[in-house]
Amino acid sequence: MIIKIPRHNPAYSGLIAKLFNLKPGDLFLDLTLGDGGHTQEALQAGAKVVSFDIDPESIERAKQFIPQNLQKNWTVVNSNMTKVSEEVNTNFNAILIDLGPSQYQVLAPSRGFSFHSSADLDMRLDKNLGVTAKDLLAALGQKELEQIFNLADEPRARQIAKEIVTSRKISPITTGQQLANLVVKIKGRYKNTHPATQVFLGLRMAVNLEREVILETLPQLPELLETGGILGVISFHSGEDRLVKQFGKQQETLSVIYKKPLKPLAEEINNNPRVRSASLRLYTKK
């Protein structure tokens, strides 16, 4: 049963056709389907779309949101994007990766992403993965936890990691609510961004091996682009963006379209504050 959570509004919404110069009949590869917002925009522009997602619940939700009349030009692949070269045998005019989780994954209590959830800290996008966020909090040492939080740009990573190790000796940390409260105790009150945001981000990245997935997927993509085709990667923190930037510098067949990553416009941020940290890097194949 898919919980009734509003549809995720992705970053750069309404701009996909323009940014990727999509024309009717073009082939568009969306490697992170989510609730299907980017895929739907490409379909509305007349493109034929192949969408990947590791999460069956996301695929089910996207099928409910995308109008039936557009789905005739849409193919869905329930697989990790690291398998893209095995799953597709054609070249594309445009390829997009959006590295942020969908609103459904964050808000659904059973998924264990929420600061307020009393459910177990899970955070797996792929239920076949064996290790959950709860497992990492129970098993990793202070330095390992600190490294995870540092990768997500958490400025008080050492203090938080130390507090986790101390606290779990008294009582295990098993829920999002427990972990969030621990971080708030260290970092204090907040107005807008929850102080546990980077801690939760680091755990999500570690559970889902997100850095490894990025590093394994990106090198496959130039070969899947048509000459003149466009590759775009949306990231949400500096660690991810650095990986994308380094990848771009190493590619002889790709040219940077914009020297600096594109940031969402003020109007979009006002309408959708979740996208405020988004960065989009665009490349074209020579």
188: left (phi over 0), alpha (psi -120 to 50) or beta: left
Q: Which tokens belong to 105?
A: 């994954």
Q: Which CATH number fits domain 130-207: 1.10.150.170, 1.10.3470.10, 3.30.360.10, 3.10.620.30?
A: 1.10.150.170
**pLDDT tens digits, residue range 38-69?**
999 999 999 999 999 998 989 999 999 999 99
Token digits of residue 67: 């109008």
According to CATH, where is 3.40.50.150 located in the chain? 16-104+212-285
Quote the CA–CA distance of 41 and 17 in Å, as a whole number: 7
Considering only CA atoms, give the Rg of the chain: 19
CATH architecture of 16-104+212-285: 3-Layer(aba) Sandwich (3.40)
In the chain, what percentage of residues exceed pLDDT 70? 97
**pLDDT computed for residue 3 by the predictor:** 47
- Give residue 1's pLDDT band: very low, low, confident or very high (50, 70, 90): very low
| Cα–Cα distance measured from residue 11 to residue 276, given in angstroms and rounded to the nearest whole number | 9
Q: How far apart are CA 172 and CA 76, in angstroms?
A: 40
Measuring CA to CA, which residue among 60, 70, 68 is closest to residue 39?
70
- pLDDT recorded at residue 51: 98
Percent of the chain with pLDDT over 90: 80
Q: Cβ atoms within 10 A of the Cβ of 244, count?
A: 23
Q: How confident is the model at residue 119 (pLDDT cuts 50, 70, 90)?
A: confident
Residues forming CATH 1.10.150.170 domain(s) in the chain: 130-207
Average pLDDT across the chain, whole number: 93
Are 81 and 74 within 8 A, CB to CB? no
278 pLDDT more than 70? yes
Find, among 259, 192, 180, 250, the residue nearest to 221 by Cα.
Answer: 250
For residues 129 and 66, which has the higher predicted lDDT (pLDDT)?
66
| C-alpha span between 169 and 241 (Å, rounded) | 36
Task: Give the model confidence (pLDDT) of 148-188 as tens digits.
Answer: 999 999 999 999 999 999 999 999 999 999 999 999 999 98
| Region of 209 on the Ramachandran plot (φ > 0 left; ψ -120 to 50 alpha; else beta) | left
H-type alpha helices, the chain: 16-19, 37-44, 56-65, 84-87, 103-107, 133-139, 142-151, 157-170, 176-187, 197-207, 210-217, 238-250, 266-271
Angle between helices 176-187 and 197-207 (to 10 degrees): 140
